[in-house]
């Protein structure tokens, strides 16, 4: 991956943008998109929308969400401690003992720590249970409520204080690869398409509020009304310890194994076939998983837009999902962008997506 692209990825991962508060990630994404796209705009919901090859005959939407799980301040008590509500799906074990960054007053970053009753002070029964989010608090070092309110307000968002870091073998770790990796991959595909021929008008959309119900993709797809929609998200890598009994349900997915292509009712079968054929032609290794229902991704919202959209889901293998140390392979990430550009070059006004 070139230095410019990697810097863009790092800035995306380090942005603080839980669902409903995506402005930091949006600023990074739009700045990069503005250097390559025909146009870039943000809708009233917060989705960022870059168009490539404006005027193309087939309207293709690529979607990847740039919101993340996090918290918001629900209460400030008299002693200056902050009480929190979760944004998105949290494993409460992960939040305990972590440091947080809060976007406080004047958009200033305020540091804090997640507090709970020390194990020494817990009753025996408490030690056998995981503390719930409602029993955790944030300590920002405030003397009292008045002191805390100089820095933060009810509704301010926060995330666990983890950043982007490179590991060995082209693997990277950080917070919010779910799904900043997807928002990155689709924009890289758009950038690459500027040097290629296509008959498609490509709408590259970084969507909001996926973690709380696919909300951004629903409104963005309605506004665009695409002919074809491809969502890019992350999926569970199952190449780590303690996956006995999980592989049978989630599939065998490995880091460095290439993009993961979903098959099932949420996916247009002819678009699925086109993706597989393209991967074979381009010699891009792919992995296949099955989903018997609508997927819990933007692909679900896109497929059900208007009278229906030919939809597919391409995923990036990821370890440690919904933790502050999510891990992906840069090789898989680049392969997703390469596959997207090759697919889009093959779509023409004559391409038939009627399933039968």
* 308 Cβ contact list (under 8 Å, min separation 6): none
For residues 325-345, give the mean pLDDT. Answer: 98
**Given a cut of 90, is residue 59 above it in pLDDT?**
yes
The answer to whether the CB of 288 falls within 8 A of the CB of 275 is no
The answer to whether the CB of 82 falls within 8 A of the CB of 112 is yes
d(CA 292, CA 308): 18
Indicate if 250 belongs to the active site. Answer: no
Match 């929609």 to its residue by tokens: 229
d(CA 301, CA 295): 9
Longest CA–CA separation in the chain, Å: 70
Q: For 63-102, what is each residue's pLDDT tens digit?
A: 999 999 999 999 999 999 999 999 999 988 899 899 999 9
Mean pLDDT score of the chain: 95
Give domain limits for the chain. Answer: 3-68+175-346, 71-160
For residues 125-140, give the mean pLDDT. Answer: 88
- The dotted CATH code for 71-160 is 2.40.30.40
More confident residue, 277 or 123: 277
Write b or e for each residue in 100-119: b if 16 or more Cβ atoms lie within 10 A of its Cβ, otherwise e. bbbbbeeeeebebebebeee
d(CA 138, CA 70): 13
The neighbour count for residue 195, using CB atoms within 10 Å, is: 8
Out of 188, 201, 210, 326, the active site residue is 210
Query: Quick one: pLDDT at residue 180?
Result: 97
Q: For 187-234, what is each residue's pLDDT tens digit?
A: 999 999 999 999 999 999 999 999 999 999 999 999 999 999 999 999
May I ask the CATH architecture of the domain 3-68+175-346? 3-Layer(aba) Sandwich (3.40)
Query: Quick one: pLDDT at residue 246?
Result: 81
Q: For 3-40, what is each residue's pLDDT tens digit?
A: 999 999 999 999 999 999 999 999 999 999 999 999 99
* pTM higher than 0.75: yes
Q: For 286-295, what is each residue's pLDDT tens digit?
A: 999 999 999 9
- Give the containing element (helix H, strand E) for 235: strand 228-236
pLDDT category of residue 129 using cuts at 50, 70 and 90: confident
């Amino acid at each position: 991956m070139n230095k410019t692209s990697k810097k863009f990825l790092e800035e995306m991962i380090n942005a603080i943008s839980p669902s409903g508060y995506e402005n930091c990630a949006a600023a990074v994404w739009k700045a990069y998109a503005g250097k390559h796209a025909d146009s870039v705009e943000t809708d009233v919901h917060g989705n960022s929308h870059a168009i490539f090859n404006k005027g193309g005959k087939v309207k293709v939407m690529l979607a990847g969400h740039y919101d993340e799980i996090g918290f918001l301040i629900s209460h400030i008590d008299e002693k200056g401690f902050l009480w929190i509500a979760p944004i998105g799906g949290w494993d409460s074990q992960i939040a305990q003992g972590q440091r947080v960054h809060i976007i406080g007053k004047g958009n200033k970053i305020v540091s804090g720590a997640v507090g709970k009753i020390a194990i020494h002070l817990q009753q025996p029964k408490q030690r056998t249970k995981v503390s719930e989010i409602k029993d955790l608090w944030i300590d920002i070092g405030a003397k009292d409520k008045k002191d805390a309110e100089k820095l933060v307000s009810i509704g301010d968002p926060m995330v666990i204080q983890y950043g982007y870091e490179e590991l060995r073998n082209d693997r990277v770790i950080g917070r919010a690869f779910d799904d900043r990796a997807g928002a990155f991959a689709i924009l890289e595909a758009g950038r690459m398409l500027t040097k290629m021929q296509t008959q498609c008008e490509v709408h590259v959309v970084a969507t909001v509020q996926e973690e709380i119900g696919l909300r951004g993709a629903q409104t963005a797809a309605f506004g665009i009304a695409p002919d074809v929609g491809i969502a890019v998200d992350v999926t569970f890598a199952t190449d780590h310890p303690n996956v006995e009994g999980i592989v049978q349900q989630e599939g065998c997915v490995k880091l460095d194994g290439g993009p993961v292509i979903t098959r099932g009712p949420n996916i247009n079968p002819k678009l699925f076939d086109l993706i597989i054929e393209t991967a074979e032609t381009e010699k891009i290794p792919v992995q296949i998983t099955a989903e018997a229902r609508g997927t819990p991704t933007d692909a679900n919202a896109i497929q059900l837009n208007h009278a229906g959209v030919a939809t597919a889901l391409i995923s990036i293998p990821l370890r440690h999902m919904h933790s502050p140390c999510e891990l992906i392979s840069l090789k898989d990430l680049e392969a997703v962008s390469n596959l997207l550009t090759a697919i889009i070059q093959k779509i023409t006004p004559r391409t038939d997506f009627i399933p039968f």
